[in-house]
């Protein structure tokens, strides 16, 4: 239903043509989508027209994009932190001063 409404607003009857369901079942599902703020409805004459609520979808996409970005930042910071904790190797290890002897 959301895919159909992505193209344009539709009535229950127009949506029903795409499904093997009764019109009351279509209306029930549309009402659930409306309660979830995914679709908006407007009564015009004797028909109710349904459309995607793009503002909620835009907000959801922005939130999900933020989660992905935060996850990437977290993974990057974890990797950087792990690299800092690794012991020095090669030339960097030779540059470190050795233990001091009590003699001398």
Domain boundaries, the chain: 2-52, 56-86
Could you say which DSSP state residue 10 is in?
E
Which pTM value belongs to this model? 0.57
Q: Is residue 97 over pLDDT 90?
A: no
Range 2-52 classified under CATH 3.90.550.10: no
Joined tokens for residue 101: 């002897």
Band the pLDDT of 20: cuts 50, 70, 90. very high
Per the model's pLDDT, the better-predicted residue between 86 and 92 turns out to be 86
Condensed to tens digits (0 to 9), the pLDDT of residues 43-83 reads 999 999 999 998 887 888 888 888 888 777 776 666 666 66
Burial (CB count within 10 angstroms: exposed 0-12, middle 13-18, buried 19+), residue 96: exposed
Tokens standing for residue 95: 């540059």
Dmax of the chain from CA atoms?
Answer: 102
- Which phi and psi angles does 22 have, rounded to 5°? -75, 155
């Amino acid at each position: 239903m959301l895919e159909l409404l992505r193209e344009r607003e539709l009535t229950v009857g127009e949506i029903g043509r795409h499904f093997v369901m009764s019109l009351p079942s279509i209306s029930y599902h549309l009402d659930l989508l409306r309660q979830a703020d995914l679709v908006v409805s407007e009564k015009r004459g004797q028909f109710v027209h349904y459309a995607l609520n793009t503002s909620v979808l835009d907000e959801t996409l922005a939130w999900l994009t933020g989660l992905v970005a935060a996850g990437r930042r977290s993974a990057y910071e974890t990797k950087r932190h792990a690299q800092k904790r690794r012991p020095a190797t090669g030339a960097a290890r030779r540059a470190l001063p050795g233990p001091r002897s009590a003699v001398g």
